Chains A and B, each alone.
Chain A
Amino acid sequence: EIVLTQSPATLSLSPGERATLSCRASQSVSSYLTWYQQKPGQAPRLLIYDASKRATGIPARFSGSGSGTDFTLTISSLEPEDFAIYYCQQRSNWPPITFGQGTRLEIK
Protein backbone atom coordinates (compact mmCIF):
# COMPACT_ATOMS: atom_id res chain seq x y z
CA GLU A 1 0.00 0.00 0.00
CA ILE A 2 1.27 3.44 -0.93
CA VAL A 3 1.35 5.82 2.03
CA LEU A 4 0.93 9.53 1.38
CA THR A 5 2.34 11.93 3.96
CA GLN A 6 1.18 15.54 3.88
CA SER A 7 2.98 18.45 5.47
CA PRO A 8 2.53 20.57 7.34
CA ALA A 9 -0.44 19.27 9.30
CA THR A 10 -1.62 22.85 9.82
CA LEU A 11 -0.63 25.96 7.90
CA SER A 12 -1.52 29.37 9.29
CA LEU A 13 -1.45 32.18 6.75
CA SER A 14 -3.18 35.45 5.98
CA PRO A 15 -5.29 36.31 2.95
CA GLY A 16 -3.09 37.43 0.08
CA GLU A 17 -0.18 35.22 1.13
CA ARG A 18 1.17 32.27 -0.84
CA ALA A 19 0.44 28.75 0.42
CA THR A 20 2.64 25.76 -0.30
CA LEU A 21 1.35 22.32 0.68
CA SER A 22 3.37 19.14 0.34
CA CYS A 23 2.47 15.51 -0.31
CA ARG A 24 5.11 12.79 -0.26
CA ALA A 25 4.49 9.22 -1.43
CA SER A 26 6.16 6.14 0.07
CA GLN A 27 6.98 4.99 -3.48
CA SER A 28 6.66 6.50 -6.91
CA VAL A 29 3.14 7.28 -8.09
CA SER A 30 4.35 8.77 -11.37
CA SER A 31 1.98 11.70 -11.98
CA TYR A 32 -1.12 9.93 -10.69
CA LEU A 33 -1.69 12.36 -7.86
CA THR A 34 -4.91 14.26 -7.16
CA TRP A 35 -5.65 17.14 -4.79
CA TYR A 36 -8.98 17.84 -3.09
CA GLN A 37 -10.32 20.69 -1.01
CA GLN A 38 -12.82 20.07 1.78
CA LYS A 39 -14.73 22.68 3.73
CA PRO A 40 -16.61 21.94 6.98
CA GLY A 41 -19.80 20.01 6.43
CA GLN A 42 -19.14 19.57 2.71
CA ALA A 43 -17.94 16.79 0.48
CA PRO A 44 -14.44 17.10 -0.97
CA ARG A 45 -13.98 18.95 -4.26
CA LEU A 46 -11.43 17.89 -6.85
CA LEU A 47 -8.94 20.66 -7.58
CA ILE A 48 -5.98 19.13 -9.40
CA TYR A 49 -5.55 15.80 -11.17
CA ASP A 50 -2.57 14.10 -12.77
CA ALA A 51 -0.39 16.19 -10.44
CA SER A 52 -0.70 19.45 -12.35
CA LYS A 53 -3.96 19.62 -14.34
CA ARG A 54 -6.49 22.03 -12.94
CA ALA A 55 -10.07 20.79 -12.88
CA THR A 56 -12.75 22.74 -14.72
CA GLY A 57 -13.85 25.81 -12.80
CA ILE A 58 -10.88 25.86 -10.42
CA PRO A 59 -9.27 29.30 -10.19
CA ALA A 60 -5.85 29.80 -11.71
CA ARG A 61 -4.35 30.65 -8.30
CA PHE A 62 -4.34 26.91 -7.61
CA SER A 63 -1.49 24.97 -9.17
CA GLY A 64 0.04 21.55 -8.71
CA SER A 65 3.49 20.26 -9.43
CA GLY A 66 5.71 17.26 -8.90
CA SER A 67 6.15 13.67 -10.01
CA GLY A 68 7.42 10.44 -8.57
CA THR A 69 7.26 10.83 -4.81
CA ASP A 70 7.16 14.58 -4.13
CA PHE A 71 4.25 16.83 -4.94
CA THR A 72 3.21 20.38 -4.16
CA LEU A 73 -0.08 22.25 -4.20
CA THR A 74 0.44 26.00 -4.41
CA ILE A 75 -2.15 28.69 -3.86
CA SER A 76 -0.56 31.85 -5.21
CA SER A 77 -2.58 34.43 -3.27
CA LEU A 78 -5.00 33.22 -0.63
CA GLU A 79 -8.62 34.24 -0.80
CA PRO A 80 -10.88 33.96 2.29
CA GLU A 81 -12.72 31.01 0.73
CA ASP A 82 -9.48 29.00 0.38
CA PHE A 83 -9.18 28.27 4.08
CA ALA A 84 -10.10 24.60 4.28
CA ILE A 85 -8.54 21.13 4.53
CA TYR A 86 -6.60 19.81 1.55
CA TYR A 87 -6.04 16.13 0.77
CA CYS A 88 -3.85 14.38 -1.76
CA GLN A 89 -4.80 10.99 -3.25
CA GLN A 90 -2.91 8.51 -5.42
CA ARG A 91 -4.21 6.16 -8.10
CA SER A 92 -0.92 4.73 -9.29
CA ASN A 93 -1.06 1.43 -7.45
CA TRP A 94 -4.52 0.37 -6.36
CA PRO A 95 -6.40 -1.07 -4.69
CA PRO A 96 -6.31 0.50 -2.33
CA ILE A 97 -6.80 4.10 -3.38
CA THR A 98 -5.01 6.04 -0.64
CA PHE A 99 -5.32 9.56 0.70
CA GLY A 100 -2.95 11.70 2.69
CA GLN A 101 -3.98 12.67 6.20
CA GLY A 102 -4.74 16.23 5.15
CA THR A 103 -3.34 19.73 5.64
CA ARG A 104 -5.53 22.24 7.47
CA LEU A 105 -5.09 25.73 6.02
CA GLU A 106 -6.23 28.23 8.63
CA ILE A 107 -6.43 31.98 8.83
CA LYS A 108 -3.59 33.55 10.81
Chain B
Amino acid sequence: EVQVLESGGGLIQPGGSLRLSCAASGFTFSSYAMSWVRQAPGKGLEWVSGISGSGHATYYADSVEGRFTISRDNSKNTVYLQMNSLRAEDTAVYYCAKDFHDFWTWGQGTLVTVSS
Protein backbone atom coordinates (compact mmCIF):
# COMPACT_ATOMS: atom_id res chain seq x y z
CA GLU B 1 0.00 0.00 0.00
CA VAL B 2 1.29 3.43 -0.96
CA GLN B 3 1.60 5.60 2.15
CA VAL B 4 3.22 8.81 3.33
CA LEU B 5 3.44 9.89 6.95
CA GLU B 6 4.36 13.37 8.12
CA SER B 7 5.96 14.32 11.41
CA GLY B 8 7.72 17.24 13.05
CA GLY B 9 4.94 19.77 13.50
CA GLY B 10 4.40 21.74 16.68
CA LEU B 11 4.22 25.15 18.30
CA ILE B 12 7.02 27.53 17.37
CA GLN B 13 7.62 31.21 18.02
CA PRO B 14 7.71 33.73 15.18
CA GLY B 15 11.17 33.83 13.64
CA GLY B 16 11.89 30.26 14.67
CA SER B 17 12.73 27.17 12.65
CA LEU B 18 11.19 23.76 12.28
CA ARG B 19 11.90 20.72 10.12
CA LEU B 20 9.10 18.52 8.87
CA SER B 21 9.67 14.95 7.73
CA CYS B 22 7.63 12.71 5.47
CA ALA B 23 8.32 8.99 5.43
CA ALA B 24 7.12 7.12 2.35
CA SER B 25 6.42 3.45 1.74
CA GLY B 26 4.83 1.15 -0.79
CA PHE B 27 6.44 2.59 -3.92
CA THR B 28 9.85 3.16 -5.49
CA PHE B 29 10.54 6.41 -3.70
CA SER B 30 13.43 7.67 -5.82
CA SER B 31 11.31 7.42 -8.96
CA TYR B 32 8.76 9.95 -7.80
CA ALA B 33 8.64 13.65 -7.11
CA MET B 34 7.27 14.69 -3.76
CA SER B 35 5.48 17.84 -2.68
CA TRP B 36 4.28 19.78 0.35
CA VAL B 37 0.84 21.38 0.42
CA ARG B 38 -0.49 23.35 3.37
CA GLN B 39 -3.88 24.38 4.66
CA ALA B 40 -4.33 27.22 7.12
CA PRO B 41 -7.10 26.72 9.69
CA GLY B 42 -10.48 27.00 7.97
CA LYS B 43 -8.86 27.93 4.65
CA GLY B 44 -8.15 26.29 1.31
CA LEU B 45 -5.20 24.37 -0.04
CA GLU B 46 -1.90 26.08 -0.89
CA TRP B 47 0.96 24.40 -2.72
CA VAL B 48 4.25 25.02 -0.91
CA SER B 49 7.09 23.16 -2.60
CA GLY B 50 8.05 20.20 -4.78
CA ILE B 51 11.20 18.15 -5.38
CA SER B 52 12.12 15.78 -8.18
CA GLY B 53 12.86 12.12 -7.59
CA SER B 54 16.60 12.68 -7.82
CA GLY B 55 16.43 15.76 -5.64
CA HIS B 56 18.12 17.88 -8.28
CA ALA B 57 15.09 20.02 -9.09
CA THR B 58 13.21 21.96 -6.45
CA TYR B 59 10.34 24.41 -6.67
CA TYR B 60 8.79 26.84 -4.20
CA ALA B 61 5.78 29.08 -3.79
CA ASP B 62 6.66 32.76 -3.70
CA SER B 63 5.30 32.94 -0.15
CA VAL B 64 8.05 30.62 1.16
CA GLU B 65 10.89 31.16 -1.33
CA GLY B 66 14.11 31.91 0.54
CA ARG B 67 12.72 30.74 3.90
CA PHE B 68 11.81 27.09 3.27
CA THR B 69 14.03 24.36 1.83
CA ILE B 70 12.81 21.03 0.51
CA SER B 71 15.17 18.06 0.40
CA ARG B 72 15.06 14.29 0.32
CA ASP B 73 17.06 11.26 1.38
CA ASN B 74 16.29 8.45 -1.02
CA SER B 75 18.18 5.96 1.17
CA LYS B 76 15.64 6.66 3.92
CA ASN B 77 12.56 7.12 1.71
CA THR B 78 12.04 10.47 3.37
CA VAL B 79 11.41 14.02 2.21
CA TYR B 80 11.99 17.05 4.42
CA LEU B 81 10.80 20.61 4.66
CA GLN B 82 13.15 22.92 6.55
CA MET B 83 11.19 26.01 7.58
CA ASN B 84 13.10 29.08 8.76
CA SER B 85 12.02 32.61 9.71
CA LEU B 86 8.55 31.34 10.46
CA ARG B 87 5.66 33.77 10.48
CA ALA B 88 2.16 33.66 11.92
CA GLU B 89 0.80 33.22 8.40
CA ASP B 90 2.73 29.95 8.08
CA THR B 91 0.38 28.39 10.63
CA ALA B 92 -1.26 25.47 8.85
CA VAL B 93 -1.59 21.75 8.50
CA TYR B 94 1.26 20.65 6.26
CA TYR B 95 0.54 17.71 3.99
CA CYS B 96 3.10 15.63 2.19
CA ALA B 97 1.94 14.36 -1.20
CA LYS B 98 3.32 12.04 -3.84
CA ASP B 99 4.27 13.59 -7.17
CA PHE B 100 4.59 17.15 -8.47
CA HIS B 101 0.86 17.54 -9.14
CA ASP B 102 -2.27 15.44 -9.40
CA PHE B 103 -1.74 14.35 -5.83
CA TRP B 104 -2.95 10.77 -5.61
CA THR B 105 -1.47 10.07 -2.20
CA TRP B 106 -1.54 12.36 0.82
CA GLY B 107 -0.44 11.98 4.39
CA GLN B 108 -2.65 12.80 7.34
CA GLY B 109 -0.88 16.12 7.81
CA THR B 110 1.12 17.69 10.62
CA LEU B 111 0.06 20.92 12.31
CA VAL B 112 2.48 23.81 12.53
CA THR B 113 1.45 26.67 14.80
CA VAL B 114 3.51 29.86 14.76
CA SER B 115 2.67 31.94 17.79
CA SER B 116 4.29 33.70 20.72
A binds B: yes
- Judged by a CB distance under 8 angstroms, whether A95 is at the interface is yes
The answer to whether A87 touches B102 (Cβ under 8 A) is no
Looking at the assembled complex, report how far the CB atom of B104 sits from the nearest CB atom of chain A, in whole angstroms: 5
CB-CB < 8 A to A43: which residues of B? 95, 106-109
Grouping DSSP codes into helix (H, G, I), strand (E, B) and loop, the B interface class, with mixed when no group exceeds half, is: loop
**Judging by beta carbons under 8 Å apart, are B47 and A98 in contact?**
yes
Interchain CB contact under 8 A, B47 and A46: no
Q: Does B1 contact A (CB under 8 A)?
A: no
**C-alpha spacing A97/B36, complex, angstroms:** 11
Residues of A within 8 A of B32 (CB): none
Per-position 1/0 for B45-68, Cβ under 8 A of A: 111001000000001111000000
- Cα distance A53–B100 when bound, in Å? 18
**What's the Cα separation between A100 and B60 when bound, in Å?**
18
Contact, CB under 8 Å: A34 / B44:
no
A22 CB, nearest partner CB in chain B, Å: 16
- B103 CB within 8 Å of chain A: yes
- Please, how many angstroms separate the alpha-carbon atoms of A95 and B60 in the complex? 7
CB distance from A64 to the nearest CB of B (A): 13
User: Which residues on B are within 8 Å of A, measured CB to CB?
Assistant: 35, 44-47, 50, 59-62, 95, 100-104, 106-109
CB<8 Å pairs between A and B, sample of 16: A34-B101, A38-B45, A43-B107, A43-B108, A44-B95, A55-B104, A89-B45, A89-B103, A94-B100, A94-B101, A95-B60, A95-B61, A96-B47, A96-B59, A97-B100, A102-B44
Top 8 nearest A-B pairs (CB, nearest first) are A91-B101, A43-B106, A97-B47, A95-B59, A99-B45, A102-B44, A101-B44, A49-B102
Interface residues of A (CB under 8 A from B): 34, 36, 38, 43-46, 49, 55, 87, 89, 91, 94-102
Given contacts A45-B106, A87-B45, 15 further A-B contacts (CB under 8 A): A43-B106, A43-B109, A44-B103, A87-B44, A89-B103, A94-B100, A94-B101, A95-B47, A95-B59, A96-B61, A96-B62, A97-B50, A98-B47, A99-B44, A99-B45
